[in-house]
Chains A and B, each alone.
Chain A
Amino acid sequence: MPKKPLTKVFFVDDDKDILTVAKFALEKMPHVTMEYFLSGEEAIQHALKAPPDMMLLDVKMTPIDGIALFKTLQLIPTLSHIPIVFCTGRAQTIEQEEYRQLGVFDIILKPFDPIALPSQIQSIWDRYQEEE
């Protein structure tokens, strides 16, 4: 089965500054459309309209944190297949394990390297493709 190219990624974080930095870091990713959201609610609404290939979620968000968001997505059949990557500073070993047990596909640790971030996202997608 030919690989499905990564075309659309949602980036959800309640910190405006981080979203800005991410925008700059990912703006030149070829063939990938990035969409940025300050809250999970917003992201779900958009995803229901046009589901992304992958979602990057901050964990410590208000009012809906990353984990709650993930669980919500799992309950929506059209969205439950989307690989979720947590992008968080709360990533002690125990927490990482907790996330993975939940079903989170991968974790990107904050602070991320803005230069390496595009290839990091791409390689996660590639791996997801392989595992699928």
Chain B
Amino acid sequence: MFSICVCCTFGTLFLSSGIITTKLYQNIENKIKLTRPIVITVVFGIFFVAFFSIKELEISSEVFKNASNILFLGGFLFSTSLALSLIFLLRTKEQLVEIESSRHQLLQLQEESRAALTSAQAGMWSLDLKTNRVIWDDYMHLLFGVEPKRFKGTLDDVMESIHPKDRNAILSNLKNAAENGARIDSIFRVIRSDGSTHFIRGNGQLFYDAEHKPISLKGICFDVTDMMLSQNYGVISEAIAQTLANGDSFHQVITDIFQILNNYMGWEVIIIWENSRSPNLHCTQFISSAPEKHVKFQQAVQNTTITKGEPLAGVAWATSKLAFSRNISEEEHFLRTDITKEENLQGSIAVPIFANGTIHGIIELYKSTPFIEQMDSAFISLMHNLGRGVGQFQRRKIAEAERDELASVVKAAPDAIYIYTLDGKIKSWNPGAEHLFGWEKQEILGQEIYKILPSEQYAEHKQTVELCKQGKVVSSFETVRKKKDGTLFWVTKSASPIYDSEGQLIAISNILRDISKEKREYLSVAKNEEKFRAFVETTADWVWEITSDGLFTYSNPSVYPILGYSAEEIIGKDLSSLLYDTLEKKRIKEEIAQSVVKQIGWTQRMIRLCHKNGQLRYLQGSAAPHFNETQKLIGFRGSDRDITETVKLENIKAQFVSIISHELRTPLTSIFGSLGLLVQKEMPPEAYKELLTIAYRNSERLLHIVNDILDVEKLAQPNIKIPLQPVPILKVIQEALSSIHYLAEKSQITMEIQGEIRAVVLGNYERLMQVIINLLSNAIKFSNVGNKVTVSVELFPDTIRVNVIDRGVGISEELKPKIFSRFVQCDSLGCISTAGSGLGLSICKSIIEQLHGQIGFSSKFGEGSTFYFDLPLYREGHA
């Protein structure tokens, strides 16, 4: 029983210690649950109570016997349970400290969270599900742009600020959260009272009451506009890039870009300004999302041009930077302010269209809300990329158009245009090349370039490649190419290197023009020119060209034999310096001036020029005027023939006629006079004989003259030869002397023969006699009365010389050179007779020359003359 009491006591003690400990805990912090230590303590307590109760019941007698044992056991149990309690207590104390610190931390956290919310520009909201009332903190009002006093706290009030397109989504989110406890997390647009649109992210969840009934939705909202926009910029950029990449026409691309800008950014009008046609910007495209709203603006834009610096496009143009206006309708300097106001256009930005570092135009964007976008790097880069992309597109399209044009030119060109790789493989071949070479494109592509080269041109081809490798363009030159059928033809060729995008030489392009026809013509012209040059250079006539001032610009070589100057000496010389005398200079100067005025040449004009050696030259020729491209007369071209000899001959002829007439008239005067007197007048008988003698003598003289003239003519004919025969020279001389004896006697001239008179010559008897008589009669005629005339014969190995020597007047130096010419008569200076035809010596010369001999003379004026002739000696078998 005792033990039961003891046990009960200990059990109670134990229990109470547990409870005390637990209570202690609870006093310290009733908020912290101590379920486990209490349960453990209670279980232990019950276990001990039960254990000892059972034990007591079985072994009470023994227990009592050993009271100290019991005491010990009781003390042990108590101390153990106390110790355990203390351990628990200590642990609970530690936890208590921890809890306290956690609580502190939580409070700190709560403060920090609030600060974070504030710094994150987040606002808190709650919606009471029973009343449907909305409670906002201050920041919510800022986020929604609604003044607190104007906020009625209804859901409809909230919905009014939300973009109409986002309202349904928000309502459905709230509903879903309220009904199904789903978390709220959505992004929606808010249109603030100032008209600006902002992206807001709202988070929240459902809250319950103690009975687990939903009572409210609570959460926070924060502004994610920047994030959304920058996310959108990526999308916009991508969309624009795709449009630009796939776009066909500039107009279409702008339309598509506008769609993107309209959808994502709310731009309502796009204007493309360009300055390709004028120094100012003018509108080339105007697109509006609501054209009917912007009729006036469109008209105004299309009827205006913008100068540099003029808002808004002009500013972007001048600065090469983005230009924007928050609200263009408030801009003072914007010329269309009134219209923008009227048509409600506010936000505006101007973006330069860039390509290759140059502005090619401006994109202008307008919208009916203010421009509130942050001008941050994302936005600026989006806009710049837009401008650059559009510019590059435009350039690309222009380049493509040019390329297409070029391609069509290449296709249509009559020239052969082809490209070959550096290893000589043909890789491009235009229709012109097909036509020219006869090779179809498909059969020549990939073939060796040598297919179209004659082997003589291989070296030229290699040289072209070398030049192209040095980056040089081979300018047009003439060469030869080979057709498919092997025929060769003339072309002009030019070649240029082709580089890849990295500047590496990859191929060479050639342009060939068929010049076969021109070449043929040229060759024929050249041939003709060569022909005419040959004519001009070889003709004996002097061919020349002079300026209208009379300076020689061309002369053929014939000028040398004519005037003694080389062609080179003549070129640049003044014609007047060649004219023989001042009279001629005056005449020619006037004639050329006349020709210049009348723009005509001249025909068969005689001109007297001075040979380099000072001698007079007669030239006769014709000329034609020579005009320049503007039909201005710049000179004359013509040719002249040296007619000096002809003129001399003409003079001789005139002289001849004059002489002949005189020579004939002189004996005729005597004949005609004497016979006339006899016939018509009564004459005394003694006069008859005298007059008849005169008539007879002069008839003889006349006959002699006529014979001489005929003789000259006969000897001049080349086909009449004098027959050769052996002639004993003595016999001829003797007969000549006797036949002329009467003349010598009359003039008291003595004649003698000297020398080798027995020689026989090869000649003609009659003709030799004629020569000797002639020489003798001259000797007598030009001797003074009483002089001696000697005929001497000298013998040489093969020839003899016959001299006829007189001691008469001799021959003047002036006359000596022309003594053997026809109709030359000497003054006889009081000699015996002057009667003669002037043909004698000329006849003698002709005869002696025909007899293979030579005739000559020596004479000293006033002392006499010696005329001689040499003839070959006759040898057997000669004749």
Contact = CB atoms under 8 A, between A and B. Distances in A.
Interface stretch (A29-37, A43-51, A76-84, A107-115): A107-115
B348 to A, nearest CB: 110
Contact of A17 (B663, B670, B677, B680): B670
Interface string A57-87: 0001011000000000000000000000000
Nearest to A58: B666
Given A24-B691, A110-B665, A115 B681 contact: yes
Contacts of A124: none
B691 A110 contact: no
A15 interface: yes
A89 B687 contact: no
A127 interface: no
A114 B683 CA distance: 12
A110 B680 CA distance: 18
A17 B701 CA distance: 12
A17 B665 contact: no
Contacts of A39: 830
Query: Which of the listed residues B669, B670, B674, B828 has the most CB atoms from chain A within 10 Å of its own CB?
Result: B669
Nearest to B676: A114
A63 B669 contact: no
B662 interface: yes
B657 interface: yes
B658 A110 contact: no
A18 B666 CA distance: 8
B670 A18 contact: yes
Of A60, A89, A113, chain B has the most CB atoms within 10 Å of the CB of A89
A60 B835 CA distance: 11
Given A20-B690, A25-B673, A63-B829, A114 B662 contact: no
Given A17-B697, A17-B698, A95-B658, A89 B669 contact: yes
A21 B670 contact: yes
B827 A15 contact: no
Nearest to B693: A17
B668 interface: yes
Nearest to A92: B658
B694 interface: yes
Nearest to B809: A63
B690 A115 contact: no
Between B666, B668, B687, B694, the greatest number of chain A beta carbons within 10 A of the residue's beta carbon is seen for: B666
Contacts of A24: 673-674, 677, 681, 683, 687, 691
Contacts of A60: 662, 666
B501 interface: no
A22 B673 contact: yes
A89 B666 contact: yes
A111 B827 contact: no
B782 to A, nearest CB: 11
A14 interface: yes
A62 B827 contact: yes
Nearest to B664: A89
Given A110-B666, A111-B668, A113-B676, A21 B691 contact: yes
B830 A63 contact: yes
Contact of B827 (A18, A21, A22, A63): A63
A100 interface: no
A92 B661 contact: yes
A110 to B, nearest CB: 4
Interface in B461-481: none
A89 B673 contact: no
B685 to A, nearest CB: 13
A115 B673 CA distance: 8
B681 A114 contact: yes
A25 B670 contact: no
Given A21-B673, A22-B673, A25-B673, A110 B681 contact: no
Nearest to B698: A17
B673 A18 contact: yes
A15 B670 contact: yes
Contacts of A88: 662
B139 interface: no
B834 interface: yes
28 contacts: A15-B666, A15-B669, A17-B674, A17-B697, A18-B670, A18-B673, A20-B691, A20-B694, A21-B673, A21-B694, A22-B673, A24-B681, A24-B683, A63-B827, A88-B662, A89-B663, A89-B665, A89-B666, A89-B668, A92-B657, A92-B661, A111-B672, A112-B673, A113-B676, A114-B674, A114-B681, A115-B676, A115-B677
Given A21-B669, A90-B662, A110-B665, 17 more contacts: A14-B834, A15-B670, A18-B666, A21-B691, A25-B677, A39-B830, A60-B662, A62-B829, A62-B834, A63-B828, A63-B829, A89-B661, A111-B671, A113-B672, A114-B673, A114-B681, A115-B676
